[in-house]
Structure 1
């Protein structure tokens, strides 16, 4: 039986068709809206590539049922900034060349954006703690921490 859900995604009300109430939010964002970010990584909420903000909180969309976020505000990396008006973290990641393949960067930036919002002067220790649950196969962890630290002022 098909039902529907309405969510505010990146500032626009979007209606989703749900064939399975346990369908992950990630699938709806990618398959029904065609968003390139978030990404499917592990499907187990362990890597973070699928991270979005649900009402401002970083959330692993690969394990979040679409039906559980009905009526809530979803922000993807596309909602953080645009090519013309990028978020400070997006600029820092480019400036510091904090990516290699870029597959996981969605999770790092979305998690860091919540940290920067809640703790704009986060120390390097704070940054490492906030980002500790994320994975990058390319091993750019230190470059990522440096990029976030330039935004918080922990790295001058």
Structure 2
């Protein structure tokens, strides 16, 4: 939550009231260590200073109200070359809710699939059932009668010991 609330200070419409570049850099160091090197974090801090001045004075940037709009505007106006580290951070922040939603969806599916009756299910079988449940839009396209017929046609599958 602290990542999202602090990143919201990047939106120019807020007039950078609670903006602190050092706070953003601390959060980047904490949450994105694989995406930003120490040099990148220093460069990000250096890019944030002129970005605040630029965004405060530019008419296009003043009216932006979301991180997605800010990212699009920086790319469309060619400022992504100047503020490349800010754009990278914005792209990561914009995809954060999507990543969280898919993880929550998987855990919800796990709760549905792994009932008391299926509690002793092997991990591989559980994973296969979860994939079918999570990707049910794709699974609905298959004719299960045809799958069963094909399975029966293959014959005996017992392993030779």
Q: TM-score range by the shorter chain?
A: under 0.3
Name the TM-score, length of structure 2 as normaliser. Answer: 0.27
Name the TM-score, length of structure 1 as normaliser. Answer: 0.27
Give the greater-gyration-radius structure (CA): 2
Question: Where is the helix percentage greater, Structure 1 or Structure 2?
Answer: 2
